[in-house]
Structures are given as C-alpha cells and as structure tokens.
C-alpha cells in the first residue's frame, strides 16, 4: 500500500514537474521569439537612421534636391534591346542638377492624352551621377500606360516634369565592403548605376553582378557589361539565360543556362559575407531572398527594390477591423481581400486619395493622414513618410482606422 502511495506521489510529482518544464520552455521560446523580433526591429531602425544619414551627407556634398516638379528635356533616346529604351534628360532651365546615390530613382508626372489626371511613375537612374544629365531605362510592358507612352511618344525635345532623385535603395559609396548585385530583366537598372559608380570612382570594391534574362534578345546593355567585366578585375559578371536562343553561346553570351538560382550564387561566391542588392520580378526576388535567409545572411545585409504592385508582397490577412474614410463619410469593414488601403479606396471610389501614382510606396502620391488607428506596411516605404500619415498603396489596417480622406 505504502509502495503504491509512493508510486502515485512520484508520478504526480513527475507530471507537475513536466508541466512546469513545458510552461518554462514555452515562456523561454516566447521570450526568444520576442527578443528576436525586437532585435530585428532595432536593427531595421538603426539601418534606416544610417541610410538617412548617408542621404543627408550626399545632399551636402552633391547639391540639395529641388522640391516639387522641375522641367527636363529629353536630349537623346537609345534602343537598348527588344522593348527597352534609355532616355537622357537635361534640366530645361540649364541650371546644375544635383547628384544622387546610385540605386535611387526619379519620379515622373505625365500628361497622357485620354487620362483624366496626370499619371505618376518612378524610374530608376540607370547610370552613375553625371554633371549635366540623368538617364533612365524603360521597358515597355504589354498594355502599360506610361511605359507605352515613353516608347511611342517621348522623343528628343520632349519636356517632362520630374521630381528630384530619391529612394532608400542605394549603394553607400563611402564604403568599400564587397557587394553582390542580383538583377532580373529591367530590374538591372539601379544595379547598373551602382556598378558604373564603383568602377568610375576607381574604388577597389569587389562587385559581383548576377543578371538574369530569358536570352540575348533581352540582354540589356550587353556590350557595356562585357566591357566592364573585361576591364575591371574586381568585377565578376555572371549572366543567367533561362531560355537561351540557338545562337546564344554558353561561356560567351551567358554563364548559367537557367534562371538565377541560389545554388548558382552560392557555388560562385563560396561565402555569404557580402552586402546583397536585389531587384527583379517578384518570384525571382522571393526565391533569392528566401535562399539568402536560409544561408544565414542577416536581414540588414539584404537590400531590395520592388518595381511595382505586382512585386508587392501579399499582406498578412488582417480581418474584421473597420476603415473610415472621414471626409468621404464612408465606413467599411476590412475583409482582408484587398492588397492595400489604396485598393480599398479605389474599389470604394474614394476620390480624396490620389491613385495615379506608382502603387509601390515610392512616389508619395497616395500619402494620407491618419486621424486614428494604426497601419502595417507590407514592404519598406521608399518615399518619405512623416509620423501620422501613411502610404496607402503599401499598407493595410492593423487596428480600426480613421483616415483623413
Ligand atoms: C522605385 C521604382 C523604380 C522603377 N524603375 C524602373 C526602371 O528603371 N525601368 C522600368 O522599366 N520600370 C521601372 N519601374 C516600374 C515603372 O514605374 C512602372 O511601374 C512600369 O513602367 C509600368 O507602368 P505602366 O504605366 O507602363 O504600366 P501600367 O499601366 O501601370 O500597368 C502595369 C502592368 O499591369 C498590367 N495591368 C494594368 N492594369 C491592369 C488591370 N486592370 N488588370 C490586369 N493587368 C493590368 C499592364 O498590362 C501592365 O503589364 C520602377 C518602379 C519603381 C516603383
Ligand atoms: S502611389 Fe506612389 S507611394 Fe503610393
């Protein structure tokens, strides 16, 4: 009898200890998870502060940006390859133009016949800073309103309204740490600016460029890239063709007969100790970024630029909160189906939010004041955003929300 009581006592003690152990383990896990998120947030915050500092220093050194719209004249257009054209732009007032950080973009406002309002789009600067002109390189998209307008109607002598260079995706040219640039298709444009800046400044910085396209028909600035790889020993160029043409030669035109893959990147680099800059299609960016994370590359060393709404990550499906458009006198229950507050505003025909912009968090056109509540961003804002406002094209409500719209 005594043995049985001993046994039962020991068993109960074991169960209690096991439960306490599990509880303690769960608390430790929660603590580690929270600490990890907090340290990521701190790292992200510090990174943003550092980036702002670099932008301010660059403005001091290379001239402050103009505010609002400034007129530029197209001085030259160049066909780069199938469906991709470069546009050279000189300030119409002939006054000096400020420099920029390689990777930044220009914002254009266009008056397109048949459109009720002016349309805004962003295009990356595709060359390093020059004294007297900027260059952008634009791919024509099927049915694309602005890219089609550029290709069909913007010619030498055209005058365009442009906002000063901006954006948080840039190469800090004061550093000499090795970098890996990974570009898909026209996503090479900001990376070209980075590459050109490194070699023209005679920096010894090591640069790897992985460039993925379908085949030689889409190989933007092939001759220029080949020349840089030949002339500068610090530059390693690796071109990936996913669908090489019969005339494309492995080893001459391209190095990997596949899409850009992390397997190829890892095999070429050997170590992950680089700063990575990525710009391309949404699937390419997702594959590469997930792979880099798995490889142990810290989040702060992975910089990315999304070119448009198709590249924007789907937000976490917040549901059941309400969104009030105060000036339009509308209250809507957020179903979690729209990708952004701007999508919701467009669906509800809210005219007080301007939907003619980039839809990618870059141009600031959709900026709206928040009267109460909180939003969550589904990608890093590229445009400046002050406390109390939000870029509706890349955020969703986190709590009940009242917008001044
Ligand atoms: C920071 C930044 C930098 C950029 N840099 C570059 C650059 O250097 N070069 C470059 O070429 N682009 C760049 N872009 C992309 C560029 O801004 C435009 O998004 C791009 O040119 C498409 O604009 P669009 O007006 O031609 O196409 P849109 O008319 O906006 O259409 C985009 C695509 O969506 C499709 N579409 C439109 N409406 C619908 C609909 N209702 N249903 C289904 N499909 C639809 C169109 O067919 C088209 O393929 C950049 C974007 C950002 C944010
Ligand atoms: S539309 Fe450009 S930032 Fe939202």
| Rg, C-alpha atoms of the chain | 25
Quick one: CA dihedral 285, 123, 200, 253, positive or negative? positive
Atom of ligand 1 nearest to the CA of 361: 53
Kind plus residue range of the DSSP H or E element containing 7: helix 2-62
Q: Among 119, 311, 341, 362, which residue has the most ligand 2 atoms within 8 Å of its CB, making it the best to mutate?
A: 362
CB atoms within 10 A of CB 186: 25
Ligand nearest 391 Cα, by number?
A: 2
CB-count exposure of residue 251 (10 Å: 0-12, 13-18, 19+)? exposed
Atom of ligand 2 nearest to the CA of 393: 4
Spacing, Cα 8 to ligand 1 middle (Å)? 71
Spacing, Cα 146 to ligand 1 middle (Å)? 7
Check pLDDT > 80 for residue 160.
Answer: yes
pLDDT digits (tens, 9 = 90+) for 179-234: 999 999 999 999 999 999 999 999 999 999 999 999 999 999 999 999 999 999 99
Q: Running DSSP on this structure, what letter comes out for residue 125?
A: B
228 near 207, Cβ under 8 Å?
A: no
Spacing, Cα 83 to ligand 2 middle (Å)? 25
Considering the entire predicted model, what is its pTM? 0.84
Q: Token pair of 109, please?
A: 């406002």
pLDDT digits (tens, 9 = 90+) for 339-358: 899 999 999 999 999 888 88
pLDDT digits (tens, 9 = 90+) for 74-83: 999 999 998 9
395 lines ligand 2 (CB under 6 A): no
311 near 360, Cβ under 8 Å?
A: yes
Q: Token pair of 198, please?
A: 């490194």
Spacing, Cα 142 to ligand 1 middle (Å)? 9
Ligand 1: residues with CB < 6 A are 105, 121-124, 136-139, 141-148, 167, 186, 189, 305, 307-308, 358, 360, 362, 382
Spacing, Cα 357 to ligand 2 middle (Å)? 5
CA angle 42, 47, 50 (to 5 degrees): 125
Share of the chain above pLDDT 70, in %: 86
Q: Ramachandran region of residue 242, left (φ > 0), alpha (ψ -120 to 50) or beta?
A: alpha
Spacing, Cα 145 to ligand 1 middle (Å)? 8
134 near 125, Cβ under 8 Å?
A: yes
Spacing, Cα 11 to ligand 1 middle (Å)? 67
| CA pair distance 262, 287, nearest whole angstrom | 8
Check pLDDT > 90 for residue 7.
Answer: no
| CA pair distance 300, 297, nearest whole angstrom | 8
Tell me which residue has tokens 């133009």.
97
Mean pLDDT of all residues in the chain?
Answer: 89
How would DSSP label each residue in 314-366?
A: PPP---S-EEEETTTTEEEE--S-SSSHHHHHHHTT-TTS---S-SSSSS-TT
Q: Which residues are within 8 A (CB) of 13 and not within 5 positions of it... i.e. 6 or more apart?
A: none
391 lines ligand 2 (CB under 6 A): yes
Q: Running DSSP on this structure, what letter comes out for residue 254?
A: B
167 lines ligand 2 (CB under 6 A): no
Around 337, how many Cα atoms within 13 Å sit in the side-chain half-sphere? 6
């Amino acid at each position: 009898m005594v043995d049985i009581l001993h046994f039962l006592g020991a068993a109960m003690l074991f169960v209690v200890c096991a439960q306490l152990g599990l509880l303690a383990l769960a608390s430790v896990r929660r603590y580690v998870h929270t600490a990890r998120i907090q340290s990521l947030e701190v790292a992200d915050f510090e990174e943003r502060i550092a980036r702002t500092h670099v932008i301010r220093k660059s403005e001091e050194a290379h001239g402050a940006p103009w505010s609002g719209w400034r007129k530029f004249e197209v001085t030259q257009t160049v066909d780069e390859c199938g469906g991709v054209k470069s546009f050279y732009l000189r300030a119409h007032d002939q006054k000096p133009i400020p420099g920029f950080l390689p990777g930044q973009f220009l914002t254009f406002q266009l008056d397109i016949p048949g459109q009720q309002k002016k349309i805004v789009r962003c295009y990356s600067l595709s060359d390093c800073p020059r004294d007297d002109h900027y260059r952008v390189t634009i791919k024509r998209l099927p049915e694309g309103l602005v890219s089609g307008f550029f290709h069909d109607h913007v010619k030498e002598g055209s005058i365009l309204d442009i906002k000063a260079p901006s954006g948080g995706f840039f190469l800090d040219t004061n550093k000499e740490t090795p970098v890996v640039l990974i570009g898909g298709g026209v996503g090479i444009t900001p990376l070209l600016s980075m590459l050109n800046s490194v070699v023209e400044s005679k920096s010894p910085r090591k640069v790897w460029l992985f460039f993925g396209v379908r085949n030689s028909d889409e190989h933007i600035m092939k001759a220029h890239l080949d020349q840089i790889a030949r002339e500068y020993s610090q530059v390693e160029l690796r071109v990936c063709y996913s669908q090489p043409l019969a005339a494309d030669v492995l080893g001459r035109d391209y190095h990997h007969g596949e899409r850009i893959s992390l397997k190829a990147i890892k095999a070429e680099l050997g170590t992950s100790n680089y700063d990575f800059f990525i710009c391309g299609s949404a699937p390419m960016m997702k594959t590469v970024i997930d792979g880099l994370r798995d490889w142990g590359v810290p989040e702060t060393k992975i910089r990315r630029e999304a070119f448009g709404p198709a590249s924007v990550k789907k937000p976490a499906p917040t549901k059941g909160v309400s969104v009030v458009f105060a000036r339009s006198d509308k209250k809507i229950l957020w179903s979690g189906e729209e990708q952004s507050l701007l999508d919701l505003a467009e669906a509800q025909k809210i005219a007080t939010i301007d939907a003619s912009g980039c839809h990618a968090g870059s141009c600031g056109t959709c900026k709206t004041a928040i009267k109460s509540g909180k939003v969550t961003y589904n990608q890093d804002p590229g445009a400046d955003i002050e406390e109390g406002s939000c870029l509706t094209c890349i955020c969703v409500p986190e709590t009940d929300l009242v917008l001044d719209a």
